[in-house]
């Protein structure tokens, strides 16, 4: 493979991993199993290891956890959450031991490991606050992106095994005790739950059921579903404050507080013993009352853990030793092309129905023409697919020995299956594209994307409805949704009076949309939800106090007979200002933003350079669409886009406390002063950073001025 092919493959892998993560962690749907996601991630890790120049800041190998949903309040973690590095073989464990030997010296690696079961659930951190001699549950937060998670306190409090308060038996202790664990649903509880649900509503596995229950807005849902929790870690500050010296002691402390732990713990001193435990639980995992997907191995000594430290996202002193991926076979009945919103043409294998992960799988993506050629996939072939879920499994290989005599090779067509336009394959890309912006399939996908849950979230627009609107030429692009009227909708076969009223209300309510959702809704290539959120936070968007006319009543009556208008003021960002802001960006400016990179920067700049796209923004503006920039729930985001450098000793604030205050409010802390620095927070004996700030004319703040800025 050429370097351009490698870059394209890595890009595809990143997109697919984040798409599957979004489905798994956010939508609670298993489009592909954890085994499939692990396989994809391992392939990406291998590519990036061999070609480190292709690593991007937004690669899933550089991040922890999954994107945040947005429905629940976002809360900053007291300490960043790390993700364990996976191991899938004995050889990988040997490599891990070798890495620790080289880091510590071979004579210092003769230590014990605490091994525990890897529970397949939803990662949650419990925060307990001290009041006298007792600790009370203050908050429960999902792992989220590792820096922020979602506040699920309302649901966690319904889990009977979670103590709402406890005492440590110590006279003193830290102000907060931070405990991490895994919320899960016992298999028996899943069976009971599914027995009461319609077939289409049944959960595929306990993990999905636990996540879906915990993240409901109504705590009564979680209360009725018999959730449980196993805890296994304390925050670093908690561990240090309590003087805990081993992982085993840490687990004993958690248990002494009345917090549940999994008692299948073993203190082992050799890889042979670890392999024995691994093999034993692999054999009896199906008989356990809860789901596991491997074992976790941790260096027992806290001092050794401190010596080994962590990478940017994972501790060097621990490994998740995963069980092998489940694999089954299916026959390829046909290969058809699917057109995406960017015009990308994706070949999809239609499979003989195959039961995997509690659902029947009938389709699998084949990515692109190169992938079909690489695998030598033919219609009629029997292929190996790894364990997957609701929609898309991964084709691992073709079983050529089972190839029938009448198998047919698939030749990638030259024309779009929707508009019959000639396909192109841009130089350096592996994907064929339909360049026709008026292609019906492309327009359909763009509109479906705009009204989807994480974009404008407008209910009432299913695929059939959008199909009908396009066929009757009632809409031509995504912005036309906001120009629909009662007379237009009531004439459609799928619309009755009540649905028309509800849809018009939904359209009106969607006109004031959070900025990150709007940027995501535009469907710009490479800009997913995470990237859209970064752009919304990091670019300098001009806000205006806008006066809008709003109906005092909504729906059919307002539409037919008019309604009394009232003037409402709103702090928002106009479409004109969005266009001006995006046009002012250069690829160089965007590329240096954490989480953006050159590929996203080029895509965004190319998009806004097109006259049709600027006209689309103008069309949104004429329809009354306004973007609003919501403040985070943890602290006002008053420092969004601001870069700080700290130097010297602060009189009363600790450096870590000051950094946390900046990050909680949306700012970034850098280690060096440059032209991009907005403020230098200087204490006593500031040194060369202070001098450079003065030289560059950067604002230097005292601690008092800094605290005033935060107000």
> Which two tokens mark 333?
């009945």
* Catalytic center residues: 118
Name which of 259, 232, 231, 249 is nearest 167 in CA terms. 259
Taking the alpha carbons at both ends of the chain, their separation in whole angstroms is 55
Name which of 136, 121, 199, 131 is nearest 166 in CA terms. 136
Distance CA 25, CA 65 (A): 9
Q: Check the CA dihedral 200-204-209-212 and report its sign.
A: negative
Name which of 407, 403, 424 is nearest 415 in CA terms. 424
> Which two tokens mark 704?
């008092």
3-state secondary structure 154-197: HHHCCCCCCCCEEECCCCCCCCEEEEEEEEECCHHHHHHHHHCC
- Backbone φ and ψ of 95, nearest 5°: -60, -40
Describe the crossing of helices 440-451 and 463-471 by its angle, rounded to 10 degrees.
130
Contact 75, 151 (CB under 8 A): yes
> Which two tokens mark 441?
């399939």
> Which two tokens mark 668?
């970034």
User: Any long-range contacts for 675-679 (C-beta under 8 Å, 24+ apart)?
Assistant: 676/592, 676/643, 677/643, 677/644, 677/645, 678/642, 678/643, 678/644, 679/642, 679/643, 679/644, 679/645, 679/706, 679/709
Name which of 648, 672, 528, 685 is nearest 59 in CA terms. 528
Contact 372, 332 (CB under 8 A): no
Name which of 242, 269, 270, 266 is nearest 254 in CA terms. 242
């Amino acid at each position: 493979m050429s370097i351009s092919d490698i870059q394209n493959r890595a890009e595809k892998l990143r997109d697919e991993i984040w798409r599957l993560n979004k489905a798994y962690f956010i939508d609670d749907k298993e489009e592909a199993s954890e085994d499939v996601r692990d396989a994809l991630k391992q392939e990406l890790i291998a590519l990036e290891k061999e070609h480190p120049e292709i690593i991007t800041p937004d690669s899933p190998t550089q991040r922890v956890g999954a994107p945040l949903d947005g429905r629940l309040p976002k809360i900053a973690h007291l300490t960043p959450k790390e993700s364990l590095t996976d191991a899938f073989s004995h050889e990988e464990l040997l490599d891990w031991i070798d890495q620790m030997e080289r880091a510590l010296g071979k004579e210092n690696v003769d230590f014990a490991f605490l091994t525990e079961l890897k529970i397949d659930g939803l990662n949650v951190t419990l925060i307990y606050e001290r009041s006298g001699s007792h600790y009370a549950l203050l908050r429960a937060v999902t792992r989220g992106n590792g820096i922020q998670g979602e506040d699920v306190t309302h649901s966690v409090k319904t889990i009977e095994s979670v103590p709402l308060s406890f005492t440590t038996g110590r006279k003193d202790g830290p102000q907060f005790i931070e405990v991490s664990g895994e919320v899960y649903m016992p298999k028996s509880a899943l069976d009971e739950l599914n027995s009461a649900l319609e077939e289409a509503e049944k959960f595929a596995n306990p993990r999905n059921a636990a996540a879906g229950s915990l993240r409901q807005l109504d705590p009564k849902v979680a209360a009725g579903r018999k959730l449980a929790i196993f805890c296994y870690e304390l925050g670093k500050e908690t561990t240090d404050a309590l003087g805990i010296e081993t992982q085993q002691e840490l687990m004993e402390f958690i248990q002494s507080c009345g917090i549940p732990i999994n008692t299948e713990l073993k203190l082992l001193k050799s890889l042979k013993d670890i392999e024995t435990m691994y093999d034993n639980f692999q054999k009896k995992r199906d008989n356990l009352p809860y789901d596991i997907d491997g074992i976790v191995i941790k260096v027992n000594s806290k001092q050794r853990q401190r010596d080994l430290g962590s990478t940017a996202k994972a501790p060097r002193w621990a490994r998740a030793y995963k069980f092998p991926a489940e694999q089954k076979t299916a026959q390829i009945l046909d290969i058809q092309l699917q057109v995406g919103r960017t015009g990308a043409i994706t070949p999809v294998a239609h499979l003989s129905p195959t039961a995997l992960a509690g659902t029947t799988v009938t389709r699998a993506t084949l990515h692109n023409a190169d992938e079909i050629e690489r695998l030598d996939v033919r219609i009629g072939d029997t292929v190996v697919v790894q364990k997957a879920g609701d929609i898309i499994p991964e084709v691992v290989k073709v079983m050529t020995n089972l190839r029938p005599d009448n198998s047919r090779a698939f030749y990638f067509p030259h024309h779009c299956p929707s508009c019959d336009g000639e396909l192109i394959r841009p130089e350096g890309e592996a994907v064929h594209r339909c360049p026709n912006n008026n292609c019906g399939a492309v327009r359909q996908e763009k509109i479906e994307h705009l009204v989807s849950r994480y974009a404008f979230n407008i209910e009432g627009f299913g695929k059939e409805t959008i199909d009908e609107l396009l066929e009757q030429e009632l809409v031509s692009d995504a912005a036309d949704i906001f120009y629909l009227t009662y007379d237009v909708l009531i004439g459609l076969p799928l619309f009755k009076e009540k649905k028309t009223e509800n849809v018009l209300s939904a359209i009106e309510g969607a006109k004031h949309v959070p900025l990150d959702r709007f940027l995501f809704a535009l469907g710009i290539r490479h800009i997913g939800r995470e990237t859209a959120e970064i752009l919304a936070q990091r670019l300098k968007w001009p806000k205006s106090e806008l006066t809008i006319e709003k109906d005092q009543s909504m729906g059919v009556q307002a539409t037919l007979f008019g309604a009394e208008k009232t003037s409402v003021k709103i702090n928002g960002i106009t479409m004109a200002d969005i266009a001006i802001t995006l046009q002012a960006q250069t690829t160089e400016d965007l590329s240096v933003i954490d989480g953006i990179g050159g590929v996203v920067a080029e895509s965004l700049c190319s998009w806004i350079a097109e006259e049709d796209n600027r006209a689309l923004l103008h069309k949104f503006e004429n329809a009354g669409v306004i973007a609003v920039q919501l403040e985070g729930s943890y602290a006002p985001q008053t420092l969004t886009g601001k870069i700080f450098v700290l130097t010297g000793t602060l009189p009363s604030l600790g450096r870590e406390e000051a950094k946390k205050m900046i990050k909680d409010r949306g700012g970034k802390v850098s280690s060096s002063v440059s032209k991009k620095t907005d403020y230098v927070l200087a204490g006593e004996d500031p040194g060369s950073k202070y001098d450079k700030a003065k030289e560059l004319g950067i604002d230097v703040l005292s601690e008092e001025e800094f605290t005033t800025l935060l107000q």
